[in-house]
Amino acid sequence: MDQPRVVAFVIQNNAGKRLLARYYDAPAFPTESSRQELEEQLHRKVAATTAGRGGAAVAPLSDLGAGAPWGASWNGDDVEVVLLPGGYTALAKPSADVWLAVVARSEENELVFAQVLNTVYSALSALADEVRELRILRHYEAALLVLDEVLDDSGVVLETDPVEVQERLAPVIARPVNLAEQSLSEALQNATASVTRSLLK
Amino acid sequence: MSFARGAGGGAAAEEAAEESARDLIFGLLKEDDAELVSPFQGIDKAVVVQEVRVFNENKLRVARCVRVLVRLMYLVHQGTTLSKAESTDVFFAVTKLFSCDDAGLRRLTYLAIKELARGTDEVIIVTNCLTKDITSTVDTRRANATRVLCRVTDAAMVAQIERYLKQELVDRNANVASAALVGALTLLEAGKGEQTVRRWSSEVTQALTHPYPMVQYHALALLYRLRRRDRLALSKLVQDVARQGARSPLTAVLLLRCVGQVIEAEGGASGANARQLISFLESMLRHRSDMVIVEAARVLSTVRGIDAADLQPAVNAMQIQLASGKPVVRYAAVRTLNQIAAGHPHLVSPANNDIENLVADANRSVATLAITTLLRTGTESSVDRLLKSMNKLLNDLSDDFKVTVIEAVRALTLKYPHKHHGLIAFLGNALRDEGGLEFKRAVVDTLFIVMREIPDAKEACLHHLVELVEDCEFAALSVRVLHVLGTEGPQMPQPAQYVRHIYNRIILENPMVRAAAVSALFRFARVSTLRDSIALLLRHCLLDNDDEVRDRAALYLEMLGEASSSSSPPLMPSERVTPTPNSSSSSSSSGDESVVDGELPVPPENLQAALVSFLRRDEAERGAFDVSKVSKVPPPAATARLSEAEAGRARLSAGITAVDGGGGGGGGGGGGGVSSTAAGTALPGDAAAAGAGAAVSAFRHPLQEEFLRALTGATAAATAAAAQLPSWTRGRSPFKSSTVLELTDAEAEFLVAVMKHVYEGEAGAAGVLLQFRVENTLDEQVLAQCRLQVDASELSQLSVAGTLPATVPVACHAVAWTYVWLEPTADAMPPCIDTGTLRPQLAYVLQDAEEASSTETPDATAAWEDEYGLEEFDLDTADYLHPVPVRGMSFKAAWEALGERAETSTTLRETFALPHESVAAAVKAVIAFLGMAPCEGTERVSATATEHVLLLSGVFVGNAQVLCRGDVSAAADAGVNLEVMVRSEQPAMSEIIMASIA
């Protein structure tokens, strides 16, 4: 018996390409090829498990933005369960053009990991503005640090409250520039100034 | 933009400007996000490794450093591996970043250190910086530095940081306290400073009362880890936390697991405090959090010997969860019910209505699990309804889910034989549906098993199978089905109806299927009314354009007594056909048909090899072929294949392969050398085994390969050595060769390794040949002479009979082979199987390399003799034994057959106490120790099992079968009890097994 531990956390795009993958159980997946194998399975099974539901899942737009009421209850409506070979279960959550997935041993309590998944998702969507492929790549440090706050390197769950994670990381990660906060003329002015400056150098 | 900071020198300003410009352009294009390129487009390891140089600048440019670090981490997370040198360079560059105080940069630095720190030197460098961070005033920094430090530090340094960690455990800041608790757990698990961590017990207990829920959780996890072996301490911990109340669902989940552990440790449901603890578990079923309810139900379901009445609330709670709107909750609930249904199906069946609703669940994992649960709980009356809903669902499932469903149907059919009509109709429909090979094979396997177990269902099954071969895209499957039609069809009331379907195959199919169809047709000749028609049909096959089909037809016509030459021009020289009928009639009393029909007593691969070598010999000297001389031990590739294959299917296909391969082997052997088509007609797995040579080498270690090449290879050295080895090794391969054992350290001057070969004699072991590989690693010196001395005084049946020194001097960095052999002593009793420890010693004469080459006759003074003690090694039972699973019948049948076979067979029974922690561990150890093959999937044990029956089978030297049944059960206090029954053809063998366990 042990406390619940995450085996791996994977973010992949709709085509199954890895954006980020952290493996917490290195002995179980020692080599890069074994990891890619798992992710490939994950990608295929996510598609198969949710087949017959009209293609790729659509991001629940209402979940986005920091204003949503996170609190103690969590939103598990769109977390899918996928069985992987080797005795692993993955919980996967779609968001725009990516899937977030947490992999655990099959005998584990799925609901614990559904909560982990939602914590990561909520914190990330607040810090990276929106959980989609390019956003994650451009805010890669946010993704890395959110994972580091939620899960210890041993796979132990560190924190399940997304607001807490967000608050801890807020001083570290600057909020992304929001177009709405900047008028178009301001933006153009800034851009021209910067370009001119770098040309003159 | 992420990390733009205005401050800094000119360079930093430029950096910021660039960043903001880029970001703006990105921003303006935001509508078209999808068109944008990834910031990591074209990223290259070499470039990034160069980029880390910016960390060495005097005035660090934060934004740039962050960007480089992120790129580095991206590479690492994409699976790029840095070489040792690169990693060290990057690591030392990263340590420079501690000079900058930027919070974001520091966090990324921590991440990089965790990824890169490997060696001791590296750890020492960062320890100081990290210790400084731990004593800083910023709480998040303290917390994160603590986690990094605990991860990378080594055992020697734990004492240095103890003071800080101990303080942090009781820190008011939740983040810091959690980090220290998790860090302490990390230390424990890495085996670093266990004693130190144990001293913090009171601080950790204090942390349990921290108001922030996660701290309580981490404290509980750490305390459990510290006390899990101490039943009383664990029990007290559970009571403390239960009284305080779990402040988060996560803590509650962990508490429930601890409770389960305490109940188990106190002896299950009948234990001392079980009543109280079980009612605590039940109360948690009313928790407001789903995850706690599910955990409570699962813990309840695993309590040993729990009453149905105590489990009922768990079922009810799960039933409510089934209606949840969240797929993951439904999944968790149905999985729990599935688990309960395994032991208490009647408890779950009232919930069947709700579970049935899930069969149409949008999430396929939920739907499949629902079906398998229903199939477990289904009563005889609900089967029909269940089948109806499954029919609708099956089409939407992917293949691997379909296979799961088919396997569940198989179980249900065997459970309710009366319902086979509906179930077989369902399987028939499934066969007609679209589906891949795996799925079709699962259905066909199921039909085969049902036919075997439920004789009434045979006709219906055959009906579906006939339909399948009419339209089957998988040749391998057709071959198997045709074979079964051939064996079962003639016994049916109306065998003629099958003949037409089978003959259709001969007209329409590819050669592989045609050949199988010919074999199947022949079996119908047994029915007297059909005999003439079959002969006619077979004669048509003589005109087939495929060799294999013609060969088989000719062989069968010969067996029917219809000469092939009478109807058509001879297609092959007639004497090539004769050996098979001759050989089979001489070897077995049942005559010709045994080649085609019967269970083969030996693996088909061996029979094939034996027949090929038989045909190579002169007709005059070879005499009659004797099947009983063929080894029962399958070639290694076949063994490996069997052990890998899924147990249930392996059992099934072993039976079928044996028969089918036997038919193919017999026919092919009859036609002279085995043609490639003969191998082609076998199943895919069988084809792999037929190419055994190639497959074997894939399984073997390279060193292993080298040993065998030196012993049996065609090299000059091997031939020279072979002439001097004892006669019982000459011209034969060993019965069993062990793995290679290293007898020296990797740094020794001479590297010695040994391989044990056991040779088979008349009634047991003829002798043991020890093959030593000696490698000279010295630069300047040559081993002029070298031989091995082995002290075998511990053995009573075997003694050292001779040695063969290295034939040539061992040059620098060269390898030589030397042998020692053991033979039975004069008063040894067959089967001469002896075990014990052997003590080897290397005796050699050392000489300078230059002298050895310059002078013809080396100067005696320049050489010196010496001896060198090597590590001891054991001769084990496993060295005399091949793990061979029971073939072609169930273990029970084999066990009884062995009991009846001869008066010499004996059964011994004995009980042993083993020190293993769990039943699963004990089972694994027993298999590894005896080296026998587990049968019927009994090697698989659930981790929590408290009882298990292990069935083992093997063939001892002397071709004697040994079966072993072990009842493993958890002992009341500690450890595991093992009750063993051994049965073998020779009493001595059983005794040897028993003695080796003791």
Question: In this structure, what CATH number is given to the domain that contains residue A91?
Answer: 3.30.450.60
Residues 438-457 of B with CB under 8 A from A: none
Judge if B868 and B882 occupy the same domain: no
Residue A50 lies in a domain: yes
- Per-residue pLDDT, averaged over A15-38, amounts to 91
| B713 and B847 both lie in a single domain | yes
CA distance to partner chain B, nearest, from residue A62 (Å): 17
Asked whether residue B354 is assigned to any structural domain, the reply reads no
Closest CA to B202 of B226, B186, B185: B226
Nearest C-alpha of chain A: how many angstroms from B945?
A: 14
User: Quick check: A177 and B23 CB within 8 A?
Assistant: yes
Among the ranges A32-41, B28-37, B510-519, B876-885, which has the highest mean pLDDT value? A32-41
Contact A52 B186 (CB under 8 A): no
Question: Scanning the structure block, which residue is given the tokens 């270690």?
Answer: B701
pLDDT number for residue B237: 92
Q: Are residues B897 and B925 in the same domain?
A: yes
- Report chain A residues whose CB lies below 8 A from the CB of B257: 1, 3
Residues B888 and B917 both lie in one domain = yes
On whether any CB of chain A is under 8 Å from the CB of B435, the answer is no
Distances (CA, A) of A52 to A46, B366, B581: 12, 14, 58
Is residue A111 in some structural domain? Answer: yes
Contact B925, B941 (CB under 8 A): no
Please tell me which residue, B379 or A91, carries the higher pLDDT value.
A91
In terms of DSSP bridges, do strands B864-869 and B798-804 run parallel, antiparallel, or are they unpaired?
unpaired
Size of interface A-B (CB pairs under 8 A): 202
Query: Closest-CA residue in chain B for A9?
Result: B77
Give residue A146's pLDDT: 93
CA–CA dist B607, B320 (Å, integer): 60
Residues B660 and B609 reside in one and the same domain: yes
Our CA angle for B521, B527, B528, nearest 5°, is 120
Answer yes or no: do B3 and A18 touch at CB < 8 A. Answer: no
Given CB atoms, is B26 within the 8 Å cutoff of chain A?
yes
Q: Verify whether the Cβ–Cβ distance A50 to B257 is below 8 Å.
A: no
CB contact under 8 Å between B2 and A176, yes or no, is yes
Highest mean pLDDT among A168-177, B178-187, B683-692, B941-950: B178-187
Residue B758 lies in a domain: yes
Compute chain A's Rg from CA coordinates.
Answer: 19
State how far residue B478 is from chain A, nearest Cα, in angstroms: 28
Q: Which of the listed ranges B193-197, B210-214, B565-569 does the model predict with the highest average pLDDT? A: B210-214
Partner residue facing A52 (CB), from B17, B366, B396 = B396
- The reported pLDDT for the residue numbered B844 is 82
Inspect the interface and report whether the beta carbons of A187 and B27 lie closer than 8 Å.
yes
pLDDT at B36: 62
Q: Quick check: B508 pLDDT over 50?
A: yes
What share of chain B in percent tops pLDDT 70?
Answer: 77
pLDDT at position A160: 92
The Cα B814–Cα B271 span in angstroms is 66
Is A2 contained in some domain?
no
**pLDDT tens digits, B232-251:** 899 999 999 999 888 999 99
Q: Is the pLDDT of residue B837 over 90?
A: no
Residue of B nearest to A110 (CA): B332
Indicate the pLDDT class of residue B13, thresholds 50, 70 and 90.
low
Neighbouring C-beta atoms of residue A165, cutoff 10 Å: 25
pLDDT more than 90, % of chain B: 12
Say whether residue B936 is in contact with chain A using an 8 A CB cutoff: no
Of the candidates B24, B40, B224, the beta carbon closest to that of A187 is on B24
User: Would you place residue B7 in the very low, low, confident or very high pLDDT band (cuts 50, 70, 90)?
Assistant: very low
Q: Which residues share a beta bridge with B906?
A: B984
Q: Is the pLDDT of residue B652 over 60?
A: no
- Structure-model confidence comparison of residues B390 and B173, the more confident one: B173
Mean pLDDT of B40-61: 85
Contact status of B332 with chain A (Cβ, < 8 Å): yes
B104 to chain A, any CB pair closer than 8 A? The answer is yes
Whether B840 and B908 share a structural domain: no
- Residue B537 token pair: 């049909």
CB contact under 8 A, B3 and A49: no
Q: Return the pLDDT at B946.
A: 76
Are residue B742 and residue B869 in the same domain, yes or no?
A: yes
Domain assignment present for residue A1? The answer is no
Beta bridge partners of B448: none
B103-138 pLDDT per residue, tens: 888 999 999 998 887 777 778 888 888 988 998 888
CA–CA dist B521, B502 (Å, integer): 7
Q: Which of B573, B588, B620 is the last residue of a domain?
A: B573
pLDDT attached to residue B194: 84
H/E element holding B12? helix B10-28
Chain segment A154-190, per-residue pLDDT in tens: 999 999 999 999 988 888 876 544 444 445 555 666 6
Alpha-carbon span B506 to B512, nearest angstrom? 10
A105-114, B55-64, B448-457, B892-901: segment of lowest average pLDDT? B892-901
Report for B90-99, B774-783, B900-909, B982-991: range of highest mean pLDDT? B90-99
**CA-based torsion, B625, B631, B632, B638: positive or negative:** negative
Under 8 Å CB-to-CB from B282, ≥6 apart: which residues?
B296, B300, B310, B313, B314
Q: How far apart are CA B292 and CA B124, in angstroms?
A: 43
Q: Is B28 on the interface with A (CB under 8 A)?
A: yes
- Using CA atoms, how far apart are residues B718 and B725, in angstroms rounded to an integer? 10
CB B587 within 8 A of CB B600: no
Least-confidence region, from B301-315, B484-498, B863-877, B879-893: B879-893
| String of DSSP letters for B910-952 | EEEEE--SSHHHHHHHHHHHHTPEE-TTTT---TT-SEEEEEE
B866 and B928: one domain?
no
Residue A3 lies in a domain: no
Sequence-distant (6+) residues with CB within 8 A of B164 are B131, B134, B135, B146
Assess B882–A contact: CB distance below 8 Å, yes or no: no
Q: What is the mean pLDDT of chain B?
A: 76
Q: Which pLDDT band, with edges at 50, 70 and 90, does B26 fall under?
A: low
Q: Pick the range with the lowest mean pLDDT from B39-43, B733-737, B798-802.
A: B733-737
Q: Alpha-carbon distance B757 to B172, whole Å?
A: 67
**Residue B353 is inside which H or E element, if any?**
helix B352-358
Domain count, chain A: 1
Contact B562, B552 (CB under 8 A): no
pLDDT confidence of residue A197 = 60
Residues of chain B neighbouring A159 (CB-CB closer than 8 A)? 178, 214
Specify the pLDDT at position B494. Answer: 80
Distance from CA of B18 to the nearest CA of A (A): 7
Determine the residue among B1, B2, B301 to mutate to test chain A binding: the one whose Cβ has the most chain A Cβ atoms within 10 Å.
B2
Q: Which residues contact B543 (CB under 8 A, 6 or more apart)?
A: B550, B568
CA-CA distance, B141 to B133, in Å (whole number)? 6
Tell me if B642 sits within 8 A of B657, measured CB to CB.
no
Residue B492 has pLDDT above 50, yes or no: yes
Whether residue B918 sits in one domain with residue B803? no
- Beta pairing class for B976-984 and B960-970: antiparallel
In a domain, B608, yes or no: yes
Q: How far apart are the first and last CA of chain B?
A: 71
Is the separation of the CB atoms in B649 and B598 below 8 Å?
no
Q: In this complex, do B21 and A158 lie within 8 Å of one another by their Cβ atoms?
A: no
- Alpha-carbon separation of residue B879 from A162, B480, B763, B833, B883 (angstroms): 59, 36, 16, 9, 11
Rounded to the nearest angstrom, the minimum Cα separation between A197 and chain B is: 8
Q: What phi, psi does A35 have (nearest 5°)?
A: -70, -45
Cβ contacts of B211 on chain A, cutoff 8 Å: none
Q: Which two tokens stand for residue B500?
A: 């037409």
Q: Say if the Cβ atoms of B362 and A53 lie within 8 Å.
A: yes
The whole-number pLDDT of residue A12 equals 93
Q: Indicate the burial class of B943 (C-beta count within 10 angstroms; 0-12, 13-18, 19 or more).
A: exposed
Q: Do B107 and A172 touch (CB under 8 A)?
A: yes
Q: Which residue do the tokens 């990797």 mark?
A: B746
Mean pLDDT computed over B253-262: 92
Between residues B697 and B811, the one the model is more confident about: B811
Range with lowest mean pLDDT among B52-56, B262-266, B810-814, B836-840? B810-814
The answer to whether residues B920 and B864 belong to one domain is no
The verdict on residue B33 lying in a domain is no
The mean pLDDT value of chain A amounts to 78
Asked if residues B789 and B805 have their Cβ atoms less than 8 Å apart, the reply is no
Would you state the torsion angle of the CA atoms of residues B686, B692, B694, B696, taken in this order, to the nearest 10 degrees?
A: 110
CB contact under 8 A, B18 and A148: no
Inter-chain touch B1–A174, beta carbons under 8 Å: yes
Residues of B in contact with A36 (CB under 8 A): 79
pLDDT at A14 over 70: yes
Beta carbons of A174 and B3 less than 8 Å apart: yes
Decide if B185 and A81 are in contact by the 8 Å CB cutoff. Answer: no
CATH number of the structural domain spanning residue B965: 3.30.310.10
- Region B362-371: mean pLDDT is 82
pLDDT tens digits for B943-964? 667 788 888 888 877 777 788 8
Single-letter amino acid code for the residue at B599? E
* Residue B457 pLDDT > 50: yes
Q: Which chain B residues have a beta carbon less than 8 Å from that of A79? A: 326-328
Q: Which range of residues forms the domain containing residue A112?
A: 8-65+73-200
Q: Considering only CA atoms, which of B655, B669, B653, B657 is closest in space to residue B595? A: B669
What is residue B717's predicted lDDT score, i.e. its pLDDT?
66
For residue B587, the distance in angstroms to the closest alpha carbon of chain A comes to 46
- Enumerate the H helices of B199-288 as residue ranges: 201-207, 213-227, 231-244, 249-265, 274-284
Within 10 angstroms of residue A83's Cβ, the number of other Cβ atoms is: 20
Task: Give the CATH number, domain containing residue B781.
Answer: 2.60.40.1480
Region B449-474 average pLDDT: 81
- Residue A88, pLDDT > 70, answer yes
Q: Do A173 and B147 touch (CB under 8 A)?
A: no
What span, in angstroms and rounded, lies between the C-alpha atoms of B563 and B464? 36
Q: Average of pLDDT values for A5-12? A: 94
Closest Cα in chain B to A29: B79
* Rounded mean pLDDT, B903-916: 73
Query: Rounded to a whole number, what is the distance in Å from the CA of B189 to chain A's nearest CA?
Result: 9
- Inter-CA distances, B53 with B47, B50, B64, B93, B672, Å: 11, 6, 11, 7, 73
Euclidean distance between CA atoms B377 and B345, whole angstroms? 5
The candidate with the shortest Cα–Cα distance to A59, out of A121, A123, A142, is A121
Specify the higher pLDDT residue, B566 or B780: B780
Partner A, chain B 118-147, Cβ-Cβ below 8 Å: 140, 144, 147
| Residue numbers in B near A87 (CB within 8 A) | none
Residue B810 φ/ψ, nearest 5 degrees: -95, 110
Contacts of B917 in chain A (CB under 8 A): none
- Beta strands in B805-946, from DSSP E residues, in sequence order: 815-824, 836-848, 864-869, 873-875, 881-882, 906-914, 933-934
* pTM of the predicted structure, to 2 decimals: 0.58
- In this complex, the residue of A18, A111, A191 whose CB is nearest that of residue B332 is A111
A136, part of any domain: yes
B751 and B830, same structural domain?
Answer: yes
Helix (H, G, I), strand (E, B) or coil at A156: strand
Counted domains in chain B = 4
Q: Is the CB of A50 less than 8 angstroms away from the CB of B362? A: yes
Residue tagged 């974001």 (tokens): B104
Q: Do residues B777 and B901 share a domain?
A: no
- Does B795 map to a domain? yes
Q: How far apart are CA A19 and CA A136, in angstroms?
A: 8
Is A119 exposed, middle or buried (CB count within 10 Å of its CB: 0-12, 13-18, 19+)?
buried
- Look-up of token digits 């066909």: B444
CA closest to B106 among chain A residues: A172
SS3 of residue A25 by DSSP: coil
pLDDT at B571: 37
Instruction: Give B585's pLDDT tier (boundaries 50, 70, 90).
Output: very low
Inter-residue contact A193 to B6 (CB < 8 Å): no
pLDDT at position A190: 61
Q: Distance between CA A114 and CA A112 in Å, rounded? A: 5
- Predicted local confidence at residue B877, as pLDDT: 78
Quote the pLDDT of residue B109.
Answer: 92
Q: Bigger pLDDT: B427 or B584?
A: B427
Query: Is the Cβ–Cβ distance between A131 and B316 less than 8 Å?
Result: no
Contact A137 B366 (CB under 8 A): no
Q: Are the C-beta atoms of residues B368 and B390 closer than 8 Å to each other? A: no
Are A91 and B328 an interchain contact pair (Cβ–Cβ within 8 Å)?
A: yes
Domain extent at residue B492? 482-573
